[in-house]
Amino acid sequence: MGSGWMGPGPGPAVVWGFCWLFSGLFSKGLACPSSCKCSSSRIWCKDLNAGISAFPVLENSADLENIREIYIANQGRLAGINDNDVAIYPGLKNLTVVDSGLKSVARRAFRKNSKLNYINLSRNKLSRLSKKPFRHLNLSRLILSDNPFQCSCDIMWIKIRQNSLIADLKDLYCMNGNMKIPLSDMQISNCGLPRVNLSVTTLTVLEGSDVTLHCDSTGTPTPNVSWDISYVVSKNVVLTNKNSASLTLMNVTFQDNARYITCMAENMVGEDQASVELIVHFPPQIIFMGSPTLDYHWCIPFSVRGNPKPKLQWFHEGAVLSESNYIWSMIHETSNNSSEYHGCLQLDSPTHFYNGRYTLQAENKYGSDNHTVLAYFMHGPEDGEEAITDPQFYEGSVERGGKEKRGEKERRGHSVSERRRVEDISLGLPRVNLSVTTLTVLEGSDVTLHCDSTGTPTPNVSWDISYVVSKSVVVTNKNSASLTLMNVTFQDNARYIPCMAENMVGEDQASVELIVNFPPQIIFMGSPTLDHHWCIPFSVRGNPTPKLQWFHEGAVLNESDYIWSMIHETSNNNSEYHGCLQLDSPTHVYNGRYTLQAENKYGSDNHTVLAHFMQGPEDGEEAITDPQFYDFFETTSNDIGDTTDDRNQITSTDVSNEGNEDSITVYVVVGIAALVCTGLVIMLFILKFGRHSKFGIKGPSSVISNDDDSASPLHHISNGSNTPSSSEGGPDAVIIGMTKIPVIENPQYFGITNSHLKPDTFVQHIKRHNIVLKRELGEGAFGKVFLAECYNLCPEQDKILVAVKTLKDASDNARKDFHREAELLTNLQHEHIVKFYGVCVEGDPLIMVFEYMKHGDLNKFLRAHGPDAVLMAEGNRPAELTQSQMLHIAQQIAAGMVYLASQHFVHRDLATRNCLVGENLLVKIGDFGMSRDVYSTDYYRIMEYFKKWGCVKLLPGPKMFTSQACQQDFQD
């Protein structure tokens, strides 16, 4: 009874050595990151000391598709999941990132991970989380517990989806300031699911007609509305306008019958959709009818389309065929759109009497169609030999003579049987022989295909040209047939054309694959539409597959994660491609002409469309929404090349010469304008500084003169010709607390000259190209207000968020008010006065740039956090402001008013609507002059009329614009 290790086999040490060696080789093959461990299907990173700062990537790309699970824990330096981090693992099913420093998940992070089923992001540092990364995934579980979410509309979708997907809702909470609120109790005003409204739910149209469908939506935030036209075959145009969208179908095709076309609305909270069922009526068409085939019964196959369902009638040799138990018509299959029917005329043991021509007629109220086929089931007595008329042949065993007759009968019987035996030995199935099996031709050429067959009896040979579009001629000769195709069309590309041979024994067939090469043609290119992304739709045909290249304003467009071309669908013959140039959140920088060029070795084509995604700061009017505006550009080519296609009347012209002429004209006009402007500036300079101001400084109690000439031009920050006075600490300075505030004479009360301005208060001019608009915040009588990013404004930051106010009215008075406002705001510098960054006067419209206050005006903020907030928010009640918080707000406004009074400035319209709220309950006074007009056109009339909510000091009569008026406003 010895050891467990017997005989000459390897010992334990050797076995463990082999295991260690195998494990080492396996890990090396996977090339696992040093701080993680890997198996053939799993990666796990839990080492707290080594740690990772980015998503783990296997060095061997061949192993990426085999990974099914990634587990990451205790990785404090891992801050985000970016667009391409997880995309390299297409087979990933389970993803876990826990107890780490995860702060963000890119909205396209899981776009290539359709197999993801389980995601666990618990115990991280997520404060916001969009639903977009997850909406296309078929998740069974999403775990988000123990993340410091901020109470906002961004996470309302998590609360709404209280189902098996997010099963840990009881463990979720959000932070509202310093308050920790269970997510199930979170109430956010103006934050709800969208709802789609359709004009109709079922629409019946006639093939070839045009029809428009309308869809709008309700919901807050305002949802994006789009039509899903992925499967629509008819040519279509989609127009979107804020919270509505219309879909126009042109020349509706039968292929869209019984099609459900879906309208979708989506905001950050969720989505809704509704569908219109399109019923297309059209006359019948027999699209296929074949020769008889023998299965259990004889079958004459056919395929018919039509809506309403056509009535079918069969004819034999021109006479109506009455159906019975031995011959009947049967539908075996109906297509998905219920308008195509496939079936058979079935015959049970037909004799030679049933040979002949069979005609099928299909009819409905819109028209009819018929088709004929020749059927041959059995040889008749007349085929091959004389009919047997001897009655003794039919009498069988009856004898009518002596031995001689019987002998003759026997000899005759032997002769017939021998002949039949010889015929049986020589019978055989037919066999088809083709000259080629694949033939490649150029579009427009002529080609001839040859087919012959062998077999006994001699087979009949034919070509099946039921689906051939090109003009064709078939010539038959005994046991062969030739097919000539003339002016071959691209529609026959990848077409299989069968040659069939048939005799009484059976049949055979073989097919030729026809490959048609032809130059590219852009058959459709539409205006941009907004779905999940902006999409410039296109359809291109060509063989070989064309190479596609996009251009923006004539320059090559480099694709990236934010702008890329995608083919959504390829037609059956693999020569037509339907897709989109997709743009992710484009700004006004992406406005302009987009050109698509398609090219293969046989030629090229290009097409241009005008895209307008967002108004830029220079846009003085509404975005162009008229589709005819875009239609003009849809048939206009750029200077890449010129092509003409007479088949579809799509013409592109070369406009490079025209473009050069336009450029020269522009240069000449700009040069003349520059000279004129230079002369005007010199004249204004002479007029301005060659005489004394009309106004004398009469002290701080002076009021505005009736002769308003205080709107001096803006002082550029780089203008060194005007040296400011150093007397900023003069006798008019006011001491508040321990701070001495220099008095700046109010331009609305005094005629300010350049010598009275502080050196640090020259109006800063901002380049227009440094301002990138993000979205519109509001609109008033004098212009629009945008949220924007401003570059190179602060030395410590590359870009900051700002509020941009535009001046729509370009009149002289409006421009004077603009200049006066800019100089005034530049001089007002205080922590509780909205910060003014500068202006942009490069062209129209004129722009003012202010700091961005996140929570908007104080009036709405107080209402949203007041006792009646639950009524305004439809049941979602936010936390009310405490007494100490409201006192803190009042103290900040008072501090700002003290500063204004120290500057001898009267606001004239102090109200909660003219105060703005930022982060951490920071309140500032704003809306001076022009900005007041932008936001408050519904509160009062401008100029000489009494403000609706103004204090009693401002009643019509002698103007008493003093600091006491503002005190009255503050008390009100």
Give the mean pLDDT of 765-771: 87
Is 782 marked as binding a ligand?
Answer: yes
3-state secondary structure (DSSP) of residue 734 = strand
Q: Which of 356, 375, 394 is the last residue of a domain?
A: 375
Is 24 marked as binding a ligand?
Answer: no
DSSP 939-954: T--STTSPPTT--GGG
Dig out the tokens for 156 from the structure: 């309302």
Spacing of C-alpha 638 from chain mean position: 25
Q: Are both 34 and 138 inside the same structural domain?
A: yes
- In a domain, residue 9? The reply is no
pLDDT digits (tens, 9 = 90+) for 106-119: 988 998 898 999 99
- In a domain, residue 461? The reply is yes
Is 780 marked as binding a ligand?
Answer: yes
Whether a cis peptide bond, with omega within 30° of 0, leads into 308 is yes
Give the mean pLDDT of 348-360: 92
> Is-contact 123 171, C-beta < 8 A?
no
- CA separation, residue 345 to residues 331, 500, 505, 721 (Å): 9, 21, 21, 100
pLDDT of residue 807: 83
Beta strands 104-105 and 80-81 are: parallel
Residue 443: pLDDT above 50?
Answer: yes
> Is-contact 652 603, C-beta < 8 A?
no
pLDDT of residue 761: 52
- State the Cα–Cα distance between residues 532 and 437, nearest whole angstrom: 45
Q: Are both 897 and 807 inside the same structural domain?
A: no
| DSSP 8-state assignment for residue 353 | G
Top-confidence residue, 842 or 256: 256
Average pLDDT, the chain: 76
Count the Cβ atoms, other than its own, within 10 Å of residue 630.
Answer: 19
pLDDT of residue 393: 40
Is 309 marked as binding a ligand?
Answer: no
Residue 188: pLDDT above 90?
Answer: no
Top-confidence residue, 782 or 742: 782
Q: Are both 211 and 262 inside the same structural domain?
A: yes
Residue 616: pLDDT above 90?
Answer: no
Q: For a pLDDT cut of 70, what percent of the chain falls above it?
A: 72
Is 784 marked as binding a ligand?
Answer: yes
The half-sphere exposure of 933 on its side-chain side, counting CA atoms within 13 A, is 17
- In a domain, residue 414? The reply is no
Give the mean pLDDT of 158-179: 73
How many separate domains does the chain show?
Answer: 7
- In a domain, residue 703? The reply is no
- In a domain, residue 738? The reply is no
- State the Cα–Cα distance between residues 490 and 486, nearest whole angstrom: 12
Q: Are both 814 and 891 inside the same structural domain?
A: no
Beta strands 271-289 and 202-206 are: parallel
Top-confidence residue, 584 or 780: 584
pLDDT of residue 478: 74
Whether a cis peptide bond, with omega within 30° of 0, leads into 586 is no
- In a domain, residue 84? The reply is yes
Count the Cβ atoms, other than its own, within 10 Å of residue 85.
Answer: 19
pLDDT of residue 367: 95
Element spanning 19, H or E: helix 12-30
pLDDT of residue 879: 78
- In a domain, residue 657? The reply is no
Is 245 marked as binding a ligand?
Answer: no
**pLDDT tier for residue 855 given thresholds of 50, 70 and 90:** confident
Residue 852: pLDDT above 60?
Answer: yes
pLDDT of residue 304: 95
**pLDDT tier for residue 214 given thresholds of 50, 70 and 90:** very high
Dig out the tokens for 723 from the structure: 């040296």
3-state secondary structure (DSSP) of residue 543 = strand
Residue 128: pLDDT above 70?
Answer: yes
pLDDT of residue 163: 54
**pLDDT tier for residue 929 given thresholds of 50, 70 and 90:** low
Q: Are both 211 and 355 inside the same structural domain?
A: no
The CATH number assigned to the domain holding 842 equals 3.30.200.20
pLDDT of residue 250: 95
Q: Which of 822, 852, 882 is the last residue of a domain?
A: 852
Is 633 marked as binding a ligand?
Answer: no
pLDDT of residue 293: 92
Q: Are both 154 and 295 inside the same structural domain?
A: no
pLDDT of residue 574: 73
Q: Are both 47 and 173 inside the same structural domain?
A: yes
Give the mean pLDDT of 195-199: 92
The answer to which of 360-369, 736-745, 863-872, 920-929 has the lowest mean pLDDT is: 736-745
Residue with tokens 């004398």: 696
3-state secondary structure (DSSP) of residue 432 = strand
- In a domain, residue 313? The reply is yes
Q: Are both 434 and 346 inside the same structural domain?
A: no
Which residues form the domain of 558? Answer: 526-611
Query: Among 29-38, 679-688, 895-904, which range has the highest average pLDDT?
Result: 895-904
Ramachandran quadrant class, 852 (left: phi over 0; alpha: psi -120 to 50; beta: rest): beta
pLDDT digits (tens, 9 = 90+) for 477-518: 878 899 999 999 988 898 899 999 988 888 899 999 999 999
Q: Are both 87 and 228 inside the same structural domain?
A: no
Give the mean pLDDT of 561-589: 85
pLDDT digits (tens, 9 = 90+) for 229-241: 888 999 999 998 8
Give the mean pLDDT of 873-880: 63
Residue 604: pLDDT above 90?
Answer: yes
Dig out the tokens for 935 from the structure: 């936001």
Q: For a pLDDT cut of 90, what percent of the chain falls above it?
A: 31
Top-confidence residue, 742 or 761: 761
Give the global pTM.
0.38
Is 781 marked as binding a ligand?
Answer: yes
pLDDT of residue 887: 92
Q: Which of 461, 482, 515 is the last residue of a domain?
A: 515
The CATH number assigned to the domain holding 459 equals 2.60.40.10
> Is-contact 709 752, C-beta < 8 A?
no
The CATH number assigned to the domain holding 877 equals 1.10.510
Whether a cis peptide bond, with omega within 30° of 0, leads into 194 is no
Q: Are both 48 and 183 inside the same structural domain?
A: yes
Give the mean pLDDT of 362-379: 93
Is 242 marked as binding a ligand?
Answer: no
Residue of 95, 73, 206, 207 lying closest to 140 (CA atoms): 95
Top-confidence residue, 167 or 39: 39
- CA separation, residue 259 to residues 233, 277, 334, 338 (Å): 10, 6, 15, 10
Q: Spell 419-449 as b/e; 16+ CB within 10 A means b.
A: eeeeeeeeeeebebbbeeeebebebeeebeb
pLDDT of residue 776: 83
Query: Among 183-192, 377-386, 726-735, which range has the highest average pLDDT?
Result: 183-192
Top-confidence residue, 313 or 435: 313
- State the Cα–Cα distance between residues 791 and 590, nearest whole angstrom: 18
Q: Are both 39 and 164 inside the same structural domain?
A: yes
Q: Are both 34 and 144 inside the same structural domain?
A: yes
The CATH number assigned to the domain holding 90 equals 3.80.10.10
pLDDT of residue 310: 95
Count the Cβ atoms, other than its own, within 10 Å of residue 617.
Answer: 25
The answer to which of 540-554, 659-673, 935-949 has the lowest mean pLDDT is: 935-949
Residues belonging to the active site: 909
> Is-contact 502 430, C-beta < 8 A?
yes
Residue 965: pLDDT above 60?
Answer: no
The answer to which of 385-394, 540-549, 877-886 has the lowest mean pLDDT is: 385-394
Top-confidence residue, 788 or 710: 788
The helix/strand count (H/E) of the chain reads as 12, 54
Residue 607: pLDDT above 70?
Answer: yes
Residue 392: pLDDT above 60?
Answer: no
Counting Cβ atoms within 10 Å, is residue 875 exposed (0-12), middle (13-18) or buried (19+)? Answer: exposed
Residue 411: pLDDT above 50?
Answer: no
Give the mean pLDDT of 303-320: 94
Is 50 marked as binding a ligand?
Answer: no
Amino acid at 402: G
